[in-house]
Amino acid sequence: MPGHLPQSDNPGEKSRASLLDRFASGQQRRFAPRSALFSEGDAAESLHMLREGQVEIRISAGNQTLFRRVAYPGFLLGVAAAISDRSHNYTAVAVEAVITSSLSRSEFRNYLKENPEACFEVVQAIGTELMEIFEGGLRPIRNKPRHLKPHV
């Protein structure tokens, strides 16, 4: 995990770098393979930026999986629940050993209030994913996120 993120003259890149920096200063957490970061129905007390490893995201009804995808490094987990003050509506399980940077719901919300560019970027990412779900139904959207990719 890099200690310093390169800076850019592009305002969009600067907001992305500052959000990554904010998460990099958050609590680092490790999850063993097959352990849940959180489960559907859990209170959204924190959210995670995936730094290393892969996480399976799934929505189920009873024993039937309705939606499934894999999140890769750079993906934010638990954002919608943290922003909306609702419980998680999906389960996130480590596929392999995982490292995340975590922020509490209140830290993240305060950060977004103070940084409108980062707030807009997060809203844009959520909107894009919602549109893709509505357009394609409950199925995997894509394998790799287009937003918030960490600088290597």
The predicted-structure confidence for 19-68, as pLDDT tens digits, reads as follows 777 787 888 999 999 999 999 999 999 999 999 999 998 888 888 877 78
Tokens describing residue 61: 């009804």
Residues whose CB falls within 8 Å of the CB of residue 96, separated by 6 or more in sequence, listed in order: 33, 53, 54
The pair phi, psi for residue 143, each rounded to 5°, is -80, -40
DSSP 8-state code for residue 7: P
* Secondary structure class of 128 (helix, strand, coil): helix
Tell me the CATH number of domain 12-136, given options 1.20.58.100, 1.10.3720.10, 3.40.50.300, 2.60.120.10. 2.60.120.10
Q: Rounded to an integer, what distance in angstroms lies between the CA atom of residue 47 and that of residue 31? A: 14
Tokens describing residue 56: 């399976």
CB contact at 8 A, 103 and 51: no
User: How high is the pLDDT of residue 2?
Assistant: 38
Residue spans per domain, the chain: 12-136
Tell me what percent of the residues of the chain surpass a pLDDT of 90. Answer: 34
User: Lowest-pLDDT range, 21-30, 49-58, 124-133, 143-152?
Assistant: 143-152
Residue type, 116: P
What is the value of pTM for the model shown? Answer: 0.72
